[in-house]
Structure formats: C-alpha cells, structure tokens
Amino acid sequence: MLQTLRGTRGAVVAPHSLAAQAGLAVLREGGNAIEAMVAAASTVAVVYPHMNSIGGDNFWLIAEPGREPVAIMACGGAGAKATTALYRGLANIPPRGPLAANTVAGAISGWGAALEVSRRWGGKLPLRRILADAIGYGRDGAPVTMSQHQNTAAKLPDLKDVPGYAAQFLVDGHPPAVGSLFRQPTLAATLERLAAAGLDDFYRGEIGAANAAELSRIGSPVTAADLEAHRAVETSPLSVALRCGTVYNVPFPTQGLASLLILGIFDRLGCAASDDFAFVHGLVEATKQAFLVRDRIVTDPAYTTEEPASYLTGAALAAMAQRVDPLRAVPWPVAAPGGDTVWLGVVDGQGRAVSLIQSIYWEFGSGVVLQDTGVLWQNRGVSFSLSENALNALRPGRKPFHTLNPALARLADGRLMVYGTMGGEGQPQTQAALFARHILYRQELQAAVTAPRWLLGRTWGATSTNLKLESRFDPSVIDALRRAGHDVEVVAPFAEIMGHAGAIVRNPSGALEGAADPRGDGIVAAY
C-alpha cells in the first residue's frame, strides 16, 4: 500500500519523478510555487515526450492566501490559413501531420504569464535556473519509461512518416528501449535560447521565426503572424459552492464547467458511503448530466451565447440532481471528444498553490517535430468540426474545445487542495472520484488516488464509449451497475487509460499531504 507523503515547507506532484524533483529543487532554493511549477512543467515536457511538449497548451489555477484564485488560459487559436477550404474533400481534420498542427502552441506563453504573477509575489529566480533541469535532460538524456516505449511502438504506424517524427523519437527506426537515454539536443538548445532571450522569443523572436518558417514549409496553416499575435490571458476561474467548501476550475473553452457540475450534482444526491453502487452510479449519472450541458454550450468564449455560471447556481444544480434516477442508468453514449495531457500541482511553504494542466492532445500530438527547434507540435485543433453549423466549427483565430481542466478547492475547515489528472473525458470523472473519496468520505489522500476507478466515454488511447471499471471493484458493485442498465466493461487493475492523477492538500497548520498515481511514473516530492 502506498502511503500519503507529507511535508511542511513545500510539495510537488507530477506524473514523472524527474519533473517533481525539478520543482522541489527550485522550492529548496527559495523559489515560490509558480517558479517551481515552471521548472516541473518544462522538465515533464522533455522527459515525458509522448505525453507532453512545449508545443502544446496549458491552463493554470493560482492561489495565494487572502486572495481570490486566478486562472491563466494559455491556449492558442487556429491559424490564419485554417479554413474549411483547406480541408475540402475531408470529412474531418486529419489527426496527424501538418494539417493537424493547426493551432498556436500556448504553453510557453502560460509560463510567461504565470511568472509575471510570480514577480508580483517577489519571485526572483532567473529563468536559466528555472529551466536548468529541462535543458539538462534534453541535452544529456533522460531514461526512457515503459510508457514512452509502449506508446511509441503503438503509434508508430500513424506517425512514422510525419515530418520530423522519426528523427526525434526513433532509434534506427525503432522505439527507444526502456531505460536507454533519450536525448533531444535541438529542443535543449531551444530551451537554452528561451532562458537567455526570454519566453517571448518563442512567439516574437528567433525561435518564433524558426517555428513559423518550418510550419509554413511543411504546410501547416499556422503563420508567423499567428505566433506574433498570441498572448496568454489571465482571468477569473469558475467556481461552485459545495457543503464542504468552494471548488474552482477554468472557464471556456475547457470542460472545467463539467468538472464543477459533477461535484455540484453529486453533492445533492445524499450518497452515504464511497465505492458502493450508489457512489459509483451517482457519480456516473452526474457525469452524464454534466456532459450533456458541456456538449451543448462549451466553446471559444468569444462565440458562446451562454453564461456558464448560470449552471452552477443552487437551483440549476438541484434541477439536474433531480434528473438522476438512483436505480437506473440514463442511456449512453453521446458523442465524445478524446484527449491526452499531464497534470502537476505545487504548494509552497507560504501556502501559495498552483494547479496546472499541460497538453499536446493525443499521444505525440500532431507528430510534427520542427527540425530547427525540436518542438513537437500539438494537434489540439482536431477537436474543431468542419461543419459550418457546429458548436466548435473551424474558424481562423478560434480557440478549440479543450478537455483540459485543473482543479483547486478551498474548504470550509481551512484546508486547500490542488488536484487533477490527465485522460480526456476521464478528467472530470477522476477529479470527482478523488475529491469525493478524500474530502466527502475521508479516505486517506493516497488511498483516494490509488482506489479503483471508472471511465464513462473515451479517453486517450481508447475509442469505445461504454463504462469501464477497473477489476479491483467489488464484484457485487459491478453486477449492480450492470443490473441498473450500465454498459459495463471490466479492464485491468491500474489501467493507464484511467489517467495519472495527483493531489496536494495544505492543512491549516501548514502541514502538507501529497499523493501520486501508481498508474503513472510520478511521485510526490516534499520537504
């Protein structure tokens, strides 16, 4: 049994151990939670390359004592040449290759915007120090994980001919061996340039020019002007009031609303215990109600006609809770988006906290690796529709729908919690399961993360839309769910499709608790 790890002066959780340790090193050197997070986020983008890259997007929740949390939305819009005419003759946007690399990568702008907040806190660590671990692992190599090896092998047929992919991710035409050192010297040089010139260089400097030139050469619709125009946005998060406190998440174009709706609906169902039929059924049915709202209204905020906060009122949540039959499942599925990502959390000794999610969408994103910068570009724009009348229709400059959503909670008893997971549609569900188990039913934090999970709908690496449950559930619960009308599939214990979750809780005393997912390669690093 894994134990909840504890500390007092700072804690970092990440889906790769080297990223967590990079963040902790920054905390030990006097850095704050944001500086530690940029260190961890840059490192994970190097050492977990199938899951992440600096060519993706990210979303932030940042909290400090005595102030309302802030959100940073670092997601890029579709390129100027990303029109339906470009994809004429295609039913959907291709998931791989240059036409999939159709949105600006916002992650670096998110680091920059967050470091601006850090400076308001008095943060002074130089960028070169913050990026040092990421640069070192890119230049000198990081050991290949089983996850990287297996995903490289599984996706090779789709990616081997994509520009730049084979040169970056294969060794003599084959997936790199587990434990071998995986080097990315060109990416390391790009990070060194950013450390010297500033993060803005990724969009409006030497690196930006190189990115734009290569994207143009291979046929991506993203232009130099698109990169130059991009900025991360600092805004207010969405929130929902529960009996136990307030939970925060990020606004449109993410599915953060769905994560809050699930908890708001479930809080009104009155389930007596965790992990029995009523618990799993209640959360699954709350998920369905939340996803129906999400799929109807979540889009680029510039195009929305709905106010998301109106769905988070007590009356709206009560109405949705009334639609949950305690004994029968609502027919499912509906259309589902896919996704891939990493979540990271940091809390420093002053109680400042960061919940971050960073993504390239699918494993390896578009597969496109820019030869002069070593940047693997995301395929987030695959979530656009080529139908002119769709909710998320493709338009130049438009932001795509995001599964990404980091979570943060301030509890009535004085605790603060950052938590999240990767995993497409699984993100809101795993967030709800983790939060409910630990906060509502008082399971130890690590036990709440380790406990068997379920997934309704699709996640990264899966196309089916049924209800998947890990085999560690009590057979009586599985049987009861089937009798209630759920289309149940039992999967392996600790299945990677259930995501890589994590959490940190700060108690009023200042004591910290952290938990990392045994399904991933991460740890909690604390002191």
Question: Is 110 within 8 Å of 59 (Cβ atoms)?
Answer: yes
Measure the CA–CA gap between 73 and 250, rounded to whole angstroms.
8
Measure the CA–CA gap between 325 and 308, rounded to whole angstroms.
25
Strand order in the sheet with 353-359: 233-235, 70-74, 57-63, 353-359, 342-348, 10-14, 523-526
H/E stretch holding 357 = strand 353-359
Measure the CA–CA gap between 62 and 119, rounded to whole angstroms.
13
| Largest interatomic CA distance in the chain | 61
Per-position DSSP letters for 224-279, written without gaps between them: HHHHHH---EEEPPEEEEETTEEEEE--TTBSHHHHHHHHHHHTTT---SSSSHHH
> Which residues, 6+ apart, have CB-to-CB distance to 483 below 8 Å?
none
Question: Is 359 within 8 Å of 343 (Cβ atoms)?
Answer: no
Beta bridge partners of 454: 469
Measure the CA–CA gap between 210 and 212, rounded to whole angstroms.
5
What are the CA-CA distances from residue 380 to residues 31, 93, 383 (Å)? 32, 11, 6
Measure the CA–CA gap between 343 and 519, rounded to whole angstroms.
13
Specify whether 341 is catalytic: yes
Residue of 341, 421, 450, 459 marked catalytic = 341
Residue 387 φ/ψ region, left for φ over 0, alpha for ψ in the -120 to 50 degree band, beta for the rest: beta
How far the first Cα of the chain sits from its last, in Å, is: 21
> Which residues, 6+ apart, have CB-to-CB distance to 235 below 8 Å?
70, 71, 72, 73, 251
Which of 191, 173, 177 lies closest to 137 in space, CA to CA?
191
Q: Which residues form the catalytic set?
A: 341
